[in-house]
Amino acid sequence: MDEVDRKILVELARDSRQPIYVIAKKIGVSRQTVAKRIERLKALGVEFTVRINPSMLGLNVRGYVMLRLDPRPEIRKKFEKKIEKLKQVVRLHYLLGPEDAILEVLAQNNEEISALVKKLHTFPGVRETETFLIHSTVKEENILNLLEAK
């Protein structure tokens, strides 16, 4: 990724609905260059998406569930298949450290989180869980900050 790609991504992060010719004018390249670069970025895995505040969907509780898991690969695969089916699980990350994995979860209320954790304990390989509910968020990831950090 070069400086032109980075500038295009910055503009798209600011407003992904702006026309290609506007982006081209802002960064000082042709409309065709921007269009070709966007297509190339898509082919490289850049995704354009909508960001929605979860509370707009009634998902008012966000939390993290730390897990200790059975280390055997075949058990972990079974665990992953079960996790894929849970609508409340936003992300699953495997960790290095005292915990094996962390789930980011969204739910309507604390009861839904509690039911989710109880369900997790029935999954293959789950040895222990520890749940943390988010009280408030001070900083949320902003891709624009990452792009402009260079």
Q: How far apart are CA 6 and CA 2, in angstroms?
A: 6
List, in order of start, the domains of the chain with CATH numbers: 3-43 (1.10.10.10), 54-133 (3.30.70.920)
Grouped pLDDT means (10 residues each) for the chain, 150 residues: 90 90 96 96 87 84 96 95 96 96 96 97 96 88 66
Query: What is the pLDDT, as a whole number, of residue 81?
Result: 96
Question: Exposure of 41 by Cβ count < 10 A (0-12 exposed, 13-18 middle, 19+ buried)?
Answer: middle
Model pLDDT, residue 5: 93
- At 150 the pLDDT is 57
**Cα(81)–Cα(147) distance, integer angstroms:** 34
Q: Which two tokens stand for residue 20?
A: 């290609």
In this predicted structure, what is the pLDDT of residue 131? 97
pLDDT of residue 58: 85
